[in-house]
Structure 1
Amino acid sequence: MVHDKLLLLISKHVVFDAAAIDLVQTYFEPVHYKKNEILEQAPAVAQYLYFINSGFIRVFYEQDGEEITTHINCPPGFITSFTSFISGSPASDVVSCITECEVLRITKDKLALLSGSIPKWDEFSRMMYEKSLNYNEQRTKDMLALNAEQRYRKLLHEYPEILHHVPLHYISSYIGIAPQSLSRIRRAIIS
């Protein structure tokens, strides 16, 4: 039920036996968060890795009093302040719900227990890590090679649901343009 999306994602990459599935369901805790609720707060160390069942979550940092959005995730996907979670160092960013969210969360210790108990877990984790690296590399290339309109059109093409759930000022920050520029681009596209 609450673990179905996670188990479906896992099954697309590796096969787990019933005991492994039980461990995943035991260690990934279902949690409900309200709109604008903070999941991880800088400079504290990130405590959880989150799997998004429903809702939209963003990662941002503050610079000169302005929030800079670096990630917007929607289901199904993993999110946290990754550097902090992995290294145990203080987070430089904030993880926050854009909408009401249903997530599964797991601590680093329980993640290590999954890794030690489920032989295929490391293979699945590696695949998710590689997918994340590829996404981030492509995002960097897009920020350098595409103009603002192209970045916006690509985001809408790949994640059309974002437009209906994410405020435009978060989207404009995420694609690296001023909100006024995004408004002009949207008007030009519509007309």
Structure 2
Amino acid sequence: MTIYTSRGSMMILLNSLIQPCMFTVISNNVGITHGLIKLGNGANRIMTTGNNGGSSEYSEALSIELFNRLVGLNLVKTETEMKVAEGPLLDYAAMYNNALTVGVSVTRAVAFNRPYTKYDADKLLKRKLNAMVKANQGIQIDKYILHIWTQSGKTASIVKRITRKYAKDYKDVIVLISIVNTDSIFFNKYPLRS
């Protein structure tokens, strides 16, 4: 996994993690060469414990792998390990610097067999942001991250533009938009379990 993130985006991400912040949106590019990727402990745990329905283990595993490599987030609980009341779920909880618990929701911005639109982005963001901050996981969450995987820069731009409209409604939320070079994330095809 190769992560391309600007110095400015890294500083914004790190500052947003350690300080009370407003709604923060950053983006990066991720290159994955499947034959060469070695998943860490957190990613492997997500792959082996599964989730509460759906087909997103691979995107969730690569999400914790990315955050572990990028800023040192360590997996605390997977979706299936959290005590859940009725209602929305987080995909995993992670620890930053042994002091801050981060709740992460992972999603994929994709429209099958047609171009991705502003309407798609708005619908996705509204659903995921509302669910994420309402999630009751039986664990104290200090920060929230919405991690959005996209297939192209064009889709990432649409998502980023629409994301701005939600800035005033959410505090201590970081949105990371990752442009990735593989379809495996979008179709939950995991060619390699390490």
TM-score range, shorter chain: under 0.3
Greater share of helix: 1
Structure-2-length-normalised TM-score:
0.26
Larger of the two Rg values belongs to structure? 1
What TM-score do you get using the length of structure 1 for normalisation? 0.27
More RCO (CA 8 Å, sep 6+): 2
